[in-house]
Structure 1
Amino acid sequence: MSVFTGEKRGGRPPCVPGGALPGASSGLHDERPSSMRRPLHSVLLLCLCLSLSAGTAHAAMPFRVGPPAAWVKPLPIPPDSGPTPAGEEETSVSRLLMEKQVRVSGHSREDYLHSARKVLAPQGIDTVTDIQLRFDPTYQKLTVHGIWRIRDGHREDLFQPSEARVIQQETELQNRLYNGTLSVVPFLRDVRVGDTVEVAYSIEGANSVFGGRFSDVVGVGQPFPVVHLAYRLLWPEGRSLYVRDFAAPGLSRSEAILGGEREILLERRHVPAVRSEDHVPGWQPVYPWIQLSEYKDWNDVARWASGLFQVPTRSKAMEQEVRRLAKEPTPEARFLAALRFVQDEVRYLGIEMGPNSHQPHPPDEVLQRRFGDCKDKSLLLVVLLKGLGIDAQPALVNTDFTQLLDGWRPTATAFNHAIVHATVAGRELWVDPTSTLERGGLDSYEPPSYGRALIVAPGTTALSVIPAPTLTEPSFFVDETYVAMDRAGTATLDVVTTRTGASANAMRRALASTALSEVSRYYFNFYAKKDAKISVAKPMTVDDDTVKNVLVLHEHYRIEDFWTSDGGRQFGAHALRNFLAEPSYSHRAFPLEVEHPVFARHRITLKAGELPPVRTEHEAVDGPAFRFEADTRANGKTLLLDYRYRSTADSVPPERIAEHVKAVRATEEQRGYYVQLASRGAGRRASPVPSGEAGAILLGVLATCLVLWFVIAQGGPLELWRKGRAWGRRRAFARKFDADHQGDSAWSAIPITGPQELLSTLGRLRCACGATSEAPQDSLRHEAVVLGERHLTLVQWQCPTCARARRAYFEDKGSRAA
């Protein structure tokens, strides 16, 4: 894994590859331990099947072996010594050197990459020897200079070209993207603890799609300490270059003129690790980095993109499709018909080799084969809309960085996705042609949450703001109705879950790829965790109003032993639990991401033959990024509990995390309600008092007076009873009902932002025996799970304390695919 990234050499972002990703890595080799890498590369075994024969002659290899070019000045490997920042001690691998040197000449570029890592423990051998040299054979040439083992001062080249394997490792196969990237995988022999492994290679060539324009990212911070980081650029003198620093402390920069070339040298020594945290917003830079770009402004980038997204003359097949769509009666209907045709009938699949990494395929070709990636589908939609007389343009976005783009130097590599900007009947719209099964009219259409966009038009001079949707009504509403008229009889539960807007679209996509019986089985088992004697009264049904985009699920259950033996029952707003989870890191350096906008509601209705006195209550909790409300009221023999959650911001700044955690914990006291029915047959016959206990009677009278005084001081018996009941139900709710069941199934997968957070989360999951001890990494088993459009990782292991078999589902949301 190289500390430096520029044009993507391996796996590409969603649709428009080449995005300069701060802190992302490509180039040298993957630094992650193999146990962390397996869930992210579940298709590796499939890709290995594409490797070349072991007996391929050296001359047929798609790379060459030789020394670096004359312009390269390799740095010496620093000694594994010197000042070590507090808390930065390495355990398995010491990164001694990570350097990259780049030379730009005309429309071409050459990159030299050099690293050295020392093995400190047996666990580090896998990390150091797992080397993959990635390149794109359509426009790049790879030269391997050597892979050396340094042991006891002796340096020996271990690279054997005849034993290396070349694999077509489609790292985004799970996203249905094919880019043709190759990886040279050497197999190193005899690497031991104490050895230093040095790797050096060069990649020559630049993607012609950029027209010779240069941009690069220099990451000067990593999740691990590095003794020496360096970046050297040889740049043609007199050619403009723009440089921007993004929080790079301790970075030295020097420049010189060498024979008509401008030499820029960036260095940083004894670099401390950047410690990641959970749920950091995509727009928040985590790793310090430097951006270099040859583009003058955003108009420069827009004119470049306009040359790629040219609208061609429509063919007969395209004209026929336009005529079909033109039969709709109104401009709105024609727009929606075109959008849904591209979304639902042109499947998502990208062939992104060479220039097609950024340039869309011809719309006629996409229409004929009925598949394409985001660029292809966006240009096809624009051609159809223009044929219908609707003004439309492609737009480039970044699905992760959103408003972070405001601070970037303009560059063509800032984007990883394409959408469409259109104007229909005076209404500005932003639509994503890759989103399937979207329904509803334009009045309720919610724009995608990408924040910023560059409209592809020659006249564009700045980024456009994509407005965030405003939710005036809950888009997710769970309505539970319990009927338990007889204390000892069978109770019924009817659940109505109503989804609107983006929530309805997401559920519709899930139902399109998952059988309703499987969805029903999951929901049934969710309730069975609390009620073992629950059964399905009627099959689950779905009502889907595609005109209003309202999707409703209906569930019906019977519950035996509804009340506990003493007539108690716990109720809680479980539908809001995921929105009110505490962060894994409460002492933070970075903001905490909050899902936004969210407006969710959970209502519980209990109809019982008998209920204790219920006082009408309204309680609210306001946090830095949310507002929570709880209403309690009763009408005769009906108890109503109404809970509402609404996000008010997309993040919480570090200085307000304590306030946020306090607010989340305060909601725990309000999200549950305990009902205790009156006990039966509790009366006792009074017994006579012996005459010799007159003094004890007097003391009893005094004690009774004190109790009465205390009750009055607390607002009366009803108020004291309410407070005691509230305390009891809150404690019971916090301990029993709201136990964290995330990860138990694919539907409740634990969201993570990367493999490092996956491992840290595993160490915090509590076993049934009460232990939270971390399982050895070599005992973890990972399995990829595809659920509709969701790609999950199932991790299975054995509790080190009690040997109980355990499992948990995770969903990596660190990089949102289109």
Structure 2
Amino acid sequence: MRRIFRPAHHAPDQLPAPVLLLLCLCLGALPARAATPTQPFRVGPPAAWVEPLPVPTDSGPSPTGDEETSLSVLLLEEQVRVSGNSRVHYRHSARKVLSPEGVERASDITFHFDPTHEQLTVHGIWRLREGRREDLFKPAEARVIQQERELQQRLYNGTLSVVPFLHDVRVGDTLEIAYTVEGANPVFGGRFSDVASIGYSVPVAHWAYRLLWPDGRPLFARDFGRPGLTHSERRHDGVHELRWEKRHVPATHAEDNVPGWEPVFSWLQLTEYKDWNDVARWASALFQVPPRSKALEQELRRLSQEPTQEARFLSALRFVQDEVRYLGIELGPNSHQPHPPDEVLQRRFGDCKDKSLLLVALLRGLGIDAQPALVNTQHARLLDGWRPSATAFDHAIVHATVAGRELWVDPTLTLERGGLDSYQPPPYARALIVSPDTQGLATIPPPTLQGPSTFVDETYVAPDRDGAATLDVVTTRTGVAANGMRRTLARTSLSELSRYFLNYYAKVDAKISVARPLTVEDDPAKNVLVVREHYRIEKFWSDDGRRDFDAHMLREYLSEPGISHRTFPLAVDHPVFVRHRITLQSGTPLHVTSHRDLVEGPAFQLEADTRSDGRTLVLDYRYRSVADAVPPERISEHVKSLHQSEGARGYYVQLGGREERPFVLPKNYNRNVLFLLALMVFCGFLWFVIVQGGPVELWRKARARTRRRAFSRKFEPVHQGDSAAAAIPITGPRELLSTLGRLRCACGASGEAPQESLRQEPIVLGERQLTLVQWPCPTCARARRAYFEDTGSRAA
């Protein structure tokens, strides 16, 4: 995930350590000790304007009956003072430790600040035990590190982290933390915006936010929360004082796969920007295209040799995508302001905003109308309900008009091919075009799929029952899937890729071997990439003449949610259109009846066609998503359709016995008795058929039951990492990355995914602190996810 523009709100599924706890009730009026070269932070009391709230002695009853077992959050408080271009932010909170696990959670504390424009003052970390209050913060023992939390995304911002080490924290203690961060990024020109998280994964006894604002200066606020938030205002000495408070804030329980556009946690938004035009004018001052340099002119001359405007656009886009690598240096104002195109061109690296401005400069030099555009990769259309803010975005792309066609392109993607007719817009839904004339958010058309983006065609040839069989696999990818596979091929050898695929099929057929080397056919003009595999299977039929087939590539899209009784919608990969065809050419007659199954649910449609001419069996499966989410009230319907799909996406073939023997009756058997028994059986069967709705309906039910029984045992149990309940234990971020490289996709591939494609989301389930990682498979471009639980180190 490219986090350049800081999002206005990260839903806090756990209490962030920097927001951790403070109170300054008994601090003396000692002057703050200034920062030293070896100690780039101060220690001292808060400013005189701060009015610390008392720490509640008891968390009180939870309105929803939620009780925290490891620690109790007593107080979360923020106080902000804005004067001119200056900003001072005071934070204070308190937790009571209830268990040994709570000792670890409460003691993991880190203060983050940007030394280029912020000054950190630590007021103290106090332990309350048996009525005594003692300051545990020892400045000499604190460590200052440059943690670079976005290093995995190839972003360097220079943020420093102060890590204190607390002595003697026990069950029953209450810990408070108080600190102040003074300063604001000059890139905003003194304009104010802030967010305050109200909802958390644990109940909070007392939450408060206080703002001291210059009287007469415009301010806009919006509450995205539950009822019960109180608001008060007063004016004194030219200051407008605003307060928001809430007591006994209930816990918000996290659920798996909630869409980014669905607000989960309550929060308060404050902004000085009156409308989106105000934000667009601010951004326009940052994204200025400078006069052409010699290097830029040289590149423009090369691009101008293309015969058409479309060809010139594609050449410029692919130059920026493929020849300028992704790397962000975001120190100070460059957190939001791009580096000049000449500098990016000379370095041949840049982040999303750098590459976007370079592309805009090239396109305008070619006579193509283009503007940078800011997007939020997580919240998408949720921006419709936000107050305008400069911190509402986390990514930059480009909006262009080419030969009368409106295009949205992402310069950070690589190896995209195909013409403009087949180009799909990125799935960001909303964008702010960087132009002084912009009046509101623009709608990015959702991507669509007219045909399957991935088509897996497997052909088995089994001439006889005991001999070897062959398997030929042809996988055709188009569009985004072809681009993803092309990126994989750029960093993976064909021999390594072949080994991945072989081991995937070896899970079913242990005696499988490569018959001919894997080949790749790439048509960049049409953006179609074809991979061909050839195998030999020594033991194809089981001893009793049975063979199971199933559309394995559909498993990823037809898995059940981890939580079925939901409050929030369930996100579904969309748009998805994939096809899996299995062909069996048998030397032994096959007794198969052609039929068609159709399973439709709130989020998908699955078609399964079975055809046979006696010796050739064709199983043809098509999966198409129809929505990007399932609302909570339709989850049971969605789960039911998933269960129905189990019988529809698999089939088994049973060959006849090696020696067919006729059925012979004993010679002395009474034929009259046989006739009466046969008549009774026939009448009973006829009655049963009528009750079941007729012979056709009975046949359908029997077939479905048989296939469900045969294939229900084939569906794998939840693998480690597939759900929160089966999270993969790790001991730190480094192990997380190495573990990702060993996880195997449904296509059979494993290997480390590019770091820029990883999306990490912290999740708290009770006392468990998890990380959900989402990324596209480097081989087949399928969306993947895995849950991890840090059982060793704790992220502060």
| Partner residue, 2:85 | 107
Question: What does 1:232-631 align with in structure 2 at a 5 Å threshold?
Answer: 232-631=210-609
Compared CA separation, residues 18 and 276, structure 1 to 2 (3 A)? closer
- Rounded Cα–Cα distance in structure 2 between residues aligned with 1:262 and 1:311: 40
Query: Is it true that 1:727 corresponds to 2:727 in the alignment?
Result: no
Counterpart for residue 17 of structure 1: 6
Preserved contact between residue 35 and residue 42 of structure 2 (Cα < 8 Å): no
2:615 maps to 1:653:
no
How many angstroms apart in 1 are the aligned matches of 2:16 and 2:86? 17
* Number of the residue aligned with 1:739: 716
What is the RMSD computed on CA atoms of the aligned residues? 2.8
Take 2:611 and 2:643, find their aligned partners in 1: how far apart are those partners? 23
Whether 1:762 aligns to 2:727 is yes
Q: CA deviation at 1:368?
A: 0.3
The alpha carbon displacement at 1:694 in A equals 6.5
* 8 Å CA contact 1:509, 1:788 repeated in 2: no
Measured in 1, the distance between the counterparts of 2:658 and 2:437 equals: 80
Moved more, 709-718 or 246-255: 709-718
8 Å contact from structure 1 (residues 783, 793) kept in 2: no
Pair 717,267 (structure 1): closer, same or farther in 2 beyond 3 Å: closer
Shift of 1:264: 0.9
More deviation, 633-642/440-449:
633-642
Corresponding residue of 1:136: 114
Alignment of 1:29 onto 2:22 = no
Which residue number in structure 2 is paired with residue 811 of structure 1? 773
Q: Secondary structure at the match of 1:189?
A: coil
> Is the CA contact 2:127–2:176 (under 8 Å) kept in the aligned structure 1?
yes
Shift of 1:330: 0.8
Distance of aligned partners of 1:345 and 1:120 in 2 relative to their CA distance in 1, 3 Å threshold: same
For the residue of structure 2 that corresponds to 1:414, the secondary structure is: coil
Gaps of 5+ in 1: 1-11, 33-55, 744-748, 751-757, 764-774, 795-807
Please say if 1:633 is aligned against 2:611: yes
Q: Partners in 1 of 2:176 and 2:772 — Cα distance?
A: 35
- Alpha carbons of structure 1 residues 333 and 685: separation in structure 2 relative to 1, 3 Å: closer
- Stretch moving more, 706-715 or 693-702: 706-715
Greater mean deviation of Cα atoms: 14-23 or 348-357: 14-23
Q: Which amino acid aligns with 1:671?
A: R
Aligned residues, how many? 744
Change (3 A) 1:142 1:793: closer
Q: CA deviation at 1:59?
A: 5.9
Distance 1:720 1:661, change over 3 A: closer
**Per-residue deviation, 1:248:** 2.7
Show the counterpart of 1:92.
Answer: 70
Distance 2:665 2:589 in 1: 31
Residue in structure 1 matched with residue 754 of structure 2 by the alignment? 789
Partner residue of 1:219 out of 171, 193, 197:
197
Q: TM-score, normalised by structure 2?
A: 0.89
Percent of aligned pairs with the same amino acid: 63
CA contact (8 A) 2:126 2:137 kept: yes
**Larger deviation: 381-390 or 86-95?**
86-95
Q: Name 1:700's counterpart in structure 2.
A: 677
CA contact (8 A) 2:17 2:108 kept: no
SS at match of 1:266: strand
C-alpha deviation, 1:278, in angstroms = 0.7
For 1:481, the aligned partner's letter is T
User: SS of the counterpart of 1:510?
Assistant: helix
Distance in 2 between residues matched to 1:129 and 1:627, nearest whole Å? 50
Write out per-residue CA displacement over residues 548-572 of structure 1, whole angstroms, 9 at most, x where no aligned residue: 1111111111112211122111111
Q: Deviations over 1:227-275 (max 9, x none)?
A: 1111111111101111112133211111111221111111111111100
Alignment of 1:114-125 (within 5 A): 114-125=92-103
Q: CA deviation at 1:84?
A: 2.7
Aligned 8 A contact 1:782 1:793 in 2: no
SS state at 1:332 partner: helix
Normalising by structure 1, we get a TM-score of 0.86
Using the TM superposition, give the Cα deviation of residue 812 of structure 1 relative to its aligned residue in structure 2, in angstroms: 3.5
Are 1:69 and 2:59 an aligned pair? no
Looking at structure 2, the residues matched to 59 and 340 of structure 1 have their Cα atoms a distance apart, in angstroms, of 46
User: Which residue of structure 2 aligns with residue 40 of structure 1?
Assistant: none
CA distances 1:611-655 after superposition (whole Å, capped 9, x unpaired)? 333222122111112111111111241111111011111111111
Whole-Å separation in 2 of the counterparts to 1:281 and 1:484: 46
Evaluate the alpha carbon distance shift between residue 654 and residue 687 of structure 1 in structure 2; reply closer, same or farther with a 3 A threshold. Answer: closer
Q: AA paired with 1:706?
A: C
Q: Does the 8 Å contact 1:360/1:375 carry over to 2?
A: yes
Distance in 2 of aligned mates of 1:510 and 1:360: 29
Report 1:174-213 matches (<5 A). Answer: 174-213=152-191
Mapped partners of 1:297, 1:718: distance in 2: 63
User: Offset at 1:131?
Assistant: 0.6
- The Cα of 1:515 is off from its aligned counterpart by 2.8
Q: Report what 2:29 is aligned to.
A: none
Q: Which residue of 1 aligns with 2:793?
A: none
Using the TM superposition, name which of 58-67 and 94-103 deviates more.
58-67
> Structure 1 residues 13, 555: CA separation in 2 closer, same or farther (over 3 Å shift)?
closer
Q: Deviations over 1:166-191 (max 9, x none)?
A: 00000011110000000000111111
* Counterpart AA for 1:69: A
Q: Is the 8 A contact 2:35 2:41 kept in 1?
A: no
Q: Conserved in 2, the CA contact under 8 Å of 1:23 and 1:288?
A: no
Are residues 611 and 233 of structure 1, via their aligned partners in 2, closer, same or farther at CA, if it must alter by over 3 Å?
farther
How far did residue 788 of structure 1 move? Answer: 3.7
- Distance (whole Å) between structure 2 residues aligned to residue 684 and residue 726 of structure 1: 29
- For residues 415-472 of structure 1, the C-alpha deviation after alignment (integer angstroms, 9 at most, x for no partner) is 0000000111111100000001101111101111110001001100011111012211
Cα distance, 1:699 vs. partner?
4.6
Which amino acid counterpart does residue 233 of structure 1 have in structure 2?
L
* SS of the residue 1:612 aligns to: coil
Q: Tell which deviates more after alignment, 98-107 or 718-727.
A: 718-727
Counterpart code for 1:206: A
Structure 2 vs 1, CA of residues 760 and 261 (structure 1 numbering), >3 Å: closer, same or farther?
Answer: farther
Q: Distance in 1 between matches of 2:221 and 2:212?
A: 14
Cα distance in 1, alignment partners of residues 64 and 528 from structure 2: 55
1:696–1:121 CA distance, 2 compared to 1 (3 A):
same
1:31/1:127 contact within 8 Å kept: no
Three-state SS of the structure 2 residue aligned to 1:166 is strand
Tell me by how many angstroms 1:335 deviates: 0.5
| Other structure's SS at 1:405 match | helix
Name the SS of the counterpart of 1:562 in structure 2.
coil
- Whole-Å separation in 1 of the counterparts to 2:550 and 2:583: 11
Unaligned 5+ runs, structure 2: 22-33, 742-751, 761-769, 777-782, 786-796
